[in-house]
Structure 1
Amino acid sequence: MVKVTNYEKKALSIATALAIILGAVFLKHYLMLIITASIVAFMFNPLYRWLQKKGNSKNKSASITLIATFFAIIIPLIFVIAITAVQVASVSETIKNSQLNTNFGELLQSVINSFNHFLSNLGISYQLSEPAIRDSFSSWLKTAIDSLLSSFAGLVGSIGSFVATFIIYIYVFVSLLINQDKLISTFHQLNPLGKDISKLYAKRIELMTKAMVRGQFVIAFVQGTTDALLLYIAGFHSMFFFFTIILTILSIIPLGGGVIVFPIGAIMLLTGNIWQGLLLILGHMFIVGNEDNIMRPKLVPSEARLDPALTLLSVFSGMAFFGFLGIVLGPVIMIVIVTTIQVYLEVFKNVIQTKQIDSNKSRFEKLKFWKRPNKGEVAV
């Protein structure tokens, strides 16, 4: 064994930390891909372990697990995105051809009249008009949808880049599954917190991440699909898949799909579509709201839940840092932060209790033997 001085140990520790930082900077362009592959590998690791127990080799188990992820996630996602793109394109064409048919004319005119009356009372001569508002809204909506479609087309159009990224993802995913024991062992060895605390820390993060990702996404998908069905029944037939995706994403955060469903329901009530408006508002309140109350206790243990305020902050902060994938990464990072604080408090509390026990023991031992209490008595 090589003998190393304390100075050399410190220098080696600094060099190791710098190497890790350099590696993160060097791989920053693929950091999102690595994180995504890590989350998917983590979610499908039980299948990989089960296949290994059945006598399959590591490579074969990893290959079967990879194929399973395609059928479980990627293929359905591509299917839904493709249908959504077709529906959005249809709406865009409708707007371009000036075939946008709404039932909001009376409401819009009433709002315009009230606003113009308010301006007149203030002595302002400017007057709004319904055609100007309709033209501005149609132009804005057409531009927004066209921008969305062009972004999607640009993403799909770069075939070479997509294929290269996909191949890298496969290698990273398979490598994470096959080498997971080595990676975990390396983490424990590098972690300065010690083996026991590292295991406690990793176990807590695993529990919270698994509950957050699995439970939260299942609940969000069910809530988003239910809201989309309510909108479909209310008359929005051509936008079912679009609303399913948008409302599922919104349901991840505490605000939920209500930010879209409630305004649409209120507008329908004001325009005379009474049963449709009531269906949307009451359906979201009593059906979608209770889905969360019923499913969350079963899917997300109480010790693994994030406070709604922290969830909301983590989602928006994650999107600010990482873009769309921040919806997933934000809560995961917040879980790491919360877990670190919880583990610190847990360990610190145990240290304090241990010191108190040792102090009481020392005080007990300092007593002369004839003053020591018998069993069942308390030393004073």
Structure 2
Amino acid sequence: MPTPVRITSSHWVLIVALLAAALACYLLVAPYMNSIVMAFILSLLIFPIHQWFDNHLPKHRNISSLLSCVTLTVIIVMPLLLVFGAIVQQGTVFAQNMYQWGSQGGIQELLAHPWVKSGLAFVNHYLPFETIEPKEIAQRVGEFATTTGSTLVSFSAKLLGDATNFILHFFLMLFVLFFLLRDHDKIIRSLRHILPLSRSQEDRLLDQIEKVSKSAVMGSFLTAIAQGLAGGFGMWLAGFPGLFWGTIMGFASFIPVVGTALVWIPATIYLLLTGQFGWATFLLIWSVAVVGSIDNLLRPFLMQGSAGMNTLLIFFSLLGGIQLFGLIGLIYGPLIFAITIVLFNLYEEEFQQFLDKQDNS
């Protein structure tokens, strides 16, 4: 039997000082925490590739880590640059077409549609606010169309700023990733040594963190890519800029409950109002049957490694993660839930005799 450690006052002083120092360190790195977490998760995803480099260059760990980072950059950055250029081009053309449509009487023609007239009559009859006149709507849309150019310029500037910010964080993440890959074994050994758990408990905890990190990334981002591709293909067939709206649908898929419906419902209504009933029916069926089924089938399948969490827990972990952390919460939420579940399981095993005694008392 190992001799139990007696906690003295000096130990408590050391623990408090250590916690204070750890908090200070966290505050120092907090602005860069997302880059650090993403580097950690990407190190898990790219580790098989890094291991291949490591096996072929066993005495050159720096070179193998550098090659792994370069490989990741080629896989992620190069396609993103191509897609980004195409999105900007299609988005600009779409904005110009919308401006021409609004300035050449398209809005008046749309407001003259019998369905639109019936809808406005219903709203004016039942809803308790001022009467909505078609002329006012046309005037507002005309003002919006007039300012479309300046809006597009400001949006492009913001997009450029976001892209610059993304590049800075990406290179910071690569810097962290390099050391995580190079010193992987040393980091794992240090974690095992510090954690006050048995080896089997450490294995379970680290294994679940790895599984959940992978499943969160695969479940969220691969689902978004798949829905963006399927949705963009359907929009392209229906006559819309496919790459632009497919990208928008990919981002919209991160929004719980509503998701890609934010894009395809207005698009379907537009097709109906412009008399394209066949394409409207196609887009509706395609979006519900194909794009919707991707979210219902692919996401749970890819996230099935989330520490045994059921669909309800996965849903709330995603919803709460987005609410608390933003887009990165799609990873943080499931990770926090899964670690909590594993810790509860370890607690149950560690205090099983006490809990059984309480149940029988």
TM-score class, shorter: 0.7 to 0.9
Counterpart residue number, 2:161:
154
Of residues 316, 323, 326, the one that matches 2:322 is 316
Q: Once superposed, what is the RMSD of the aligned Cα atoms?
A: 3.5
TM-score normalised to the size of structure 1? 0.76
In structure 1, the residue matched to 2:251 is 249
Provide, for residues 26-77 of structure 1, a one-character-per-residue CA deviation record: whole Å limited to 9, x for no partner.
Answer: 1233233222322222221121123223344322221221111012111111
Please state whether the residue corresponding to 1:85 is helix, strand or coil.
helix
Whole-Å Cα distance in 1 between the matches of residues 144 and 69 of structure 2?
45
Separation in 2, partners of 1:125, 1:5: 75
Give per-residue Cα distances to partners, 1:203-228, cap 9 Å, x unaligned: 11211221121233222211111111
Whether the 8 Å contact between 1:116 and 1:128 is mirrored in structure 2 is: no
Partner in structure 2 of residue 11 of structure 1: 13
177 and 150 in structure 1: CA distance in 2 versus 1, 3 angstrom threshold: same
Q: 2:140 aligns with which of 117, 133, 143?
A: 133
CA offsets, 1:319-339, max 9 Å, x none?
Answer: xx4xxxx32x20222123212
2:33 aligned with 1:31: yes
**Are the aligned partners of 1:207 and 1:304 in contact in 2 as well (CA < 8 Å)?**
no
Aligned AA (2:323): S
**1:155-206: CA deviations, max 9, x gaps?**
55x6xx8886665443222111111222223333333455543332221121
1:256 aligned counterpart, secondary structure = coil
Structure 1, unaligned runs of 5 or more:
360-380
Residues 1-150 of structure 1 aligned to structure 2 (within 5 Å) = 6-56=8-58, 57-94=60-97, 105-109=108-112, 110=114, 111=116, 115=120, 119=124, 127-129=133-135, 130-139=137-146, 142=149, 144-150=151-157
- Name whichever of 71-80 and 93-102 sits farther off: 93-102
Q: How does 1:168-207 map to 2 (within 5 A)?
A: 168-193=172-197, 195-207=199-211
CA distance in 1, matches of 2:268, 2:199: 55
- TM-score, scaled to structure 2: 0.80
- What amino acid is aligned across from residue 182 of structure 2 in structure 1? I
Identity of aligned residues (%): 21
Higher relative contact order (CA 8 A, sep 6+): 2
Cross-structure match for 2:278 = 275
Deviation at 1:282, TM superposition (A): 0.3
Given that 1:228 and 1:247 are in contact with CA atoms closer than 8 Å, whether structure 2 keeps it comes out as yes
Q: Mean Cα displacement is larger for which, 95-104 or 195-204?
A: 95-104
The one-letter amino acid paired with 1:330 is G
Cα pair 2:35 2:170 within 8 Å, conserved: no
* Partner Cα distance (1:301, 1:176) in 2: 26
Distance 1:290 1:245 in 2: 18
Question: What is the aligned length?
Answer: 345
Q: Distance in 1 between matches of 2:357 and 2:129?
A: 81
Residue 100 and residue 48 in structure 1: after superposition, are their counterparts in 2 closer, same or farther (change >3 A)? farther
Kept after mapping to 1: 8 A contact 2:318/2:329? no
Amino acid at match of 1:282: I
1:299-321 C-alpha deviation (Å, 9 max, x unpaired): 34363665353154135315xx4
1:261: how far off? 0.8
Higher Cα Rg: structure 1 or 2?
1
Residues in 2 aligned to 1:4 and 1:52: alpha-carbon distance in whole angstroms: 44
In the alignment, is the contact (CA less than 8 A) between 2:41 and 2:213 conserved in 1?
A: no
Counterpart of 2:347, as a letter, is F
Q: AA paired with 2:289?
A: F
* 1:240 aligned partner: 242
CA contact (8 A) 1:95 1:138 kept: yes
1:292 CA drift (Å): 4.2
Aligned partners of 1:52 and 1:58 also within 8 Å:
yes
